[in-house]
Amino acid sequence: MKTFPMFLQMQGRRVVIAGGGEQAAQKCRLILKTQARITLLAPALDPELTDLHAEGRIDWSAAPIRADDFADTALVFIATGCPATDSSLHALAKEAGATVNVVDQPDLCDAITPSIVDRSPVVVAIGTEGTAPVLARQIKTRMEELLEPRLGDLAALAGRLRGRAAARLGPRMRRDLWRWVFNGPARTEHARGGERAAARMIKQAIDTASFGAETTGSVALVGAGPGCKDLITMRGVQRLQEADVIFYDRLVDPEILDLARRDAERVYVGKAPGCHHWPQEKICGVLVAAARQGKRVVRLKCGDPGVFARGAEEVDALTAAGIAYEIVPGVTAASAASAALGGFLTERGTCDTLLLATGQYQDAGKGPEWINSLQPGTRVALYMGVGSAAQIAEGLAKAGLQDKVTIDIVSRAQQPDQVIAHCTPQTLVQVTSDQGIEAPAILFLTWPHGAAPVQHTSQHTAPQPAKALALS
């Protein structure tokens, strides 16, 4: 960020606006929404500003402007409409040590005025660092539609009741209370005009602690998507914002953690292939232990928690300990990789069977277990297959499929350093080596319709459901 968003305390503080025309009037309208004291510096005022001065809502000085006029201010706006005059006044204001906004001259601005959605005391400020004001206004319009007109009044009511809640409820119960207030029937009642009824509901909930608060901990297994933060689901973001502690994987984008509640504890439990810093048993143990302490726990997994993520082992541990859990699905790597290729996992007339499998081998002496499922119209999405490229190529050759199957590879799908490659079984090892393709990556092996089936020549065990799932 080139600019840092921050809300300034304005009550009783002085704001100076240099100018007496429409630009000055626009800034005056904005600051009048605050509790600041406004002083206009201009030889003359337009009719709107003249009326405000006559009503005693603003101060006005028509005297020649000096540096001292800008001293002891919270904020200064330079808005005369004349670029040369604005530049001169900017120099005087900076001499006085003021924080300055010069209208339409971003290079002279210490502070930039955002687009504002006002549901006071709820205020949403939207900025583009001066690069795209039209976009900021579009976002403002969407936010105006999203936030009900009376939301500020509900927030103010909550503020008045915070002391009452603090006297009766502990920290965890208070968080549950306010989540119930802003997500439940009290907000609905308030939005349709039932302010008194909503207030009674909230007061009763505080006094009786009857708002569905959880007294025991729980765990949410959340799919973070393939990596980039904009592919996590809205439900996943909500669980992050509710979490007391987050256990996250190696491949999770750090920016996703920025979506979590600021004071949530974050614990890295990363596991790299062949180097498990946290054994699975230990991860299961800390999930159970944290939930038993009454915490809301998020187990944040890259991709989808149900696809080669050992989620079943964690669920088994939670079930055995009597811990409530929820599974929040995520965008799995195969979906992200297919989209990166500009295609689809299944295609009518070309590929109507999809197999998700792992490229890792339980028994190095045996070939890939999924290979007997390859038939015309089948696509295999191989997770964790780059390290086994040589065995995969050998297995396809032994099965007589080297001329039937095409291979597409996507490494770090949907991320800035994404790599895409295309090859055949014969060139798989060379391509992965020459292009420096590393995990995480998805290998798509496709045998399209229209090709004659072949007799598999190698002996393999039948595919095991725990390692591969066929979807048709």
What class, spelled out in words, does domain 218-331 have in CATH?
A: alpha beta
pTM of the model as a whole: 0.63
pLDDT in tens, 371-409: 888 999 999 999 999 999 999 999 999 999 989 999 999
Give the active site residue among 271, 366, 398, 467. Answer: 271
What class, spelled out in words, does domain 335-471 have in CATH?
A: alpha beta
Q: Using omega within 30 degrees of 0 as the cis cutoff, is the peptide bond preceding 448 cis?
A: no
Between CA 4 and CA 455 the distance in angstroms is 65
User: Please, are residues 392 and 405 in contact by the beta-carbon 8 Å criterion?
Assistant: no
Q: Strand 296-301 relative to strand 122-126: parallel, antiparallel, unpaired?
A: unpaired
Q: Which pairs with CB-CB distance under 8 Å and at least 24 residues apart come from 310-314?
A: 310/280, 311/221, 313/280, 313/284, 314/219, 314/221, 314/280, 314/283, 314/284, 314/287
Between CA 130 and CA 408 the distance in angstroms is 42
How many separate helices (H) and strands (E) can be counted in the chain? 15, 20
Residue from 397, 376, 378 nearest 453 by CA: 376
pLDDT in tens, 40-98: 999 999 999 999 999 999 999 999 999 999 999 999 999 999 999 999 999 999 999 99
E-strand ranges in 171-264 read 218-223, 245-248
Give the active site residue among 86, 249, 253, 408. Answer: 249
pLDDT in tens, 123-171: 999 999 878 889 999 999 999 988 999 999 999 999 999 999 999 999 8
In the chain, pLDDT over 70 holds for what percent of residues?
A: 92
- The answer to whether 249 is a known catalytic residue is yes
| Whether the predicted pLDDT of 275 surpasses 80 | no
- The answer to whether 271 is a known catalytic residue is yes
What class, spelled out in words, does domain 14-113 have in CATH?
A: alpha beta
Q: Who contacts 145 (Cβ-Cβ below 8 Å, separation ≥6)?
A: none
Between CA 442 and CA 115 the distance in angstroms is 43
